[in-house]
């Protein structure tokens, strides 16, 4: 249990170290941030790059988005992506490695003068990489000239919409090739359904108790919409639905909150449509701020200006026992 808690404390400390560096600080720092913010959006609008942007250059024509804008995106992505909402998001500046004990000890009884044997401990590392996610936005030159105040909101809305869709799908089911590995492939199988190509409430109970009590304290279900709809149709001997739904209240099942997503598969054989556990142990690591690059010339003959937005991110289930899946037989 201490190993698990130390894990969470380590993740908390990483977030505090990185986010702590972004406090407002001195008046001089606030002035620099304000100047950078103004210069950044002037550059997106006109293409002019002032000296104030030098510190945010990525060396290939792109610039780090201002901190305030980046934080807006983080908040919005959290609302759109279930795993961002339930997991932990940290900021990193380089590849992070977190050691963990994978084979520890049970408490044993010793005679008074016996020596303790620590030879059985095994450790490995969780490594957070930085996979790049990008999108291309194109707007007309007239849009930039006629509505200069709207370019920030336009970029914000497009990035949030596109990144949230790609992120959520990958965080659930990604194959790990050039992108994060999906949680469905990281979590252990907690239970297999009783019947082939089907799912019932008994299967859900089996899944629930496959997760250790330590992790069940703050556990939730995430399931595909198809699985959720199927389970809600089960009735008792009186013909009443066994899954009690209260209008206006969030869904719960056996006392645990239920979230649904279109990114998990249906209830065909071999699929894993249900996740259950404590998602505090799911960590999303963002590498620095997002970057936007203005393409002034590439689409000029069509009367357009392009913008490339990128972010670098990875996601890991830091304790594979914290969340488990239900597999369809």
Burial class (CB in 10 A: 0-12, 13-18, 19+), 23: exposed
- What contacts 21, CB < 8 A, 6 or more positions away? none
Q: How far apart are CA 252 and CA 246, in angstroms?
A: 9
- Write out the H or E segment, with its range, that includes residue 223: strand 220-224
pLDDT of residue 121: 61
The beta-carbon contacts of 250-253 under 8 Å, at least 24 apart in sequence, are 253/204, 253/221
Buried b (16+ CB within 10 A) or exposed e, 279-307: bbbbbbbbbbbbbbbbbeeebeeeebbbb
pLDDT of residue 169: 97
Cα–Cα nearest to 95, from 316, 310, 278: 316
Tell me how far apart the terminal alpha carbons of the chain are, to the nearest angstrom. 32
Q: How far apart are CA 235 and CA 291, in angstroms?
A: 52
Cα–Cα nearest to 151, from 67, 73, 46: 46
pLDDT of residue 4: 56
Give the Cβ contact number of residue 127 at 10 Å: 12
Cα–Cα nearest to 253, from 287, 208, 307: 208
Cα–Cα nearest to 297, from 133, 66, 135, 61: 61
Q: How far apart are CA 228 and CA 242, in angstroms?
A: 13
- What contacts 281, CB < 8 A, 6 or more positions away? 7, 8, 215, 317, 318, 319, 322, 323
Alpha-carbon torsion (266, 267, 269, 274), positive or negative: positive
- At 172 the three-state DSSP class reads helix
For residue 56, what are the β-bridge partners? none
- What contacts 230, CB < 8 A, 6 or more positions away? 199, 267
pLDDT, block means (10 residues), the chain with 329 residues: 58 53 61 88 93 91 94 96 96 77 66 71 81 96 83 95 97 98 98 97 98 96 97 87 82 95 97 98 95 94 96 95 97
- Write out the H or E segment, with its range, that includes residue 274: strand 274-277
């Amino acid at each position: 249990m201490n190993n698990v808690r130390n894990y969470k404390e380590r993740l908390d400390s990483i977030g505090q170290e990185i986010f702590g560096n972004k406090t407002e600080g001195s008046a001089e720092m606030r002035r620099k941030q304000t100047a950078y913010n103004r210069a950044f959006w002037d550059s997106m609008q006109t293409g002019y790059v002032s000296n104030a942007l030098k510190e945010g250059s990525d060396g290939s024509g792109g610039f780090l988005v201002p901190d305030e804008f980046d934080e807006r995106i983080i908040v919005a992505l959290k609302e759109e992506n279930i795993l961002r909402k339930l997991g932990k998001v940290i900021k990193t500046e380089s590849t992070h490695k977190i050691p963990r004990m994978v084979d520890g000890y049970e408490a044993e009884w010793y005679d008074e003068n016996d020596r303790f044997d620590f030879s059985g401990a095994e450790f490995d590392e969780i490594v957070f990489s930085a996979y790049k996610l990008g999108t291309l936005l194109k707007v007309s030159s007239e849009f930039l000239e006629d509505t200069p105040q709207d370019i920030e909101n336009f970029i914000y809305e497009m990035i949030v919409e596109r990144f949230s869709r790609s992120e959520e799908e990958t965080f659930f089911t990604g194959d790990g090739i050039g992108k994060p590995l999906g949680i469905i492939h990281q979590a252990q199988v907690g239970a297999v359904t009783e019947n082939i190509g089907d799912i019932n409430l008994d299967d859900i109970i089996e899944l629930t108790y496959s997760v250790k009590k330590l992790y069940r304290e703050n556990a939730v279900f995430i399931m595909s919409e198809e699985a959720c709809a199927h389970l809600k149709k089960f009735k008792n001997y009186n013909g009443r639905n066994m899954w009690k739904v209260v209008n206006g209240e969030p869904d719960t099942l056996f006392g645990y909150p239920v979230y649904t997503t279109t990114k998990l598969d249906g209830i065909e054989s071999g699929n894993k449509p249900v996740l259950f556990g404590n998602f505090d142990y799911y960590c999303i690591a963002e590498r620095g701020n997002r970057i936007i690059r203005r393409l002034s010339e590439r689409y000029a003959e069509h009367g357009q200006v392009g913008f490339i937005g990128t972010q670098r991110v990875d996601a890991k289930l830091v304790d594979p026992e914290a969340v488990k899946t239900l597999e369809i037989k």
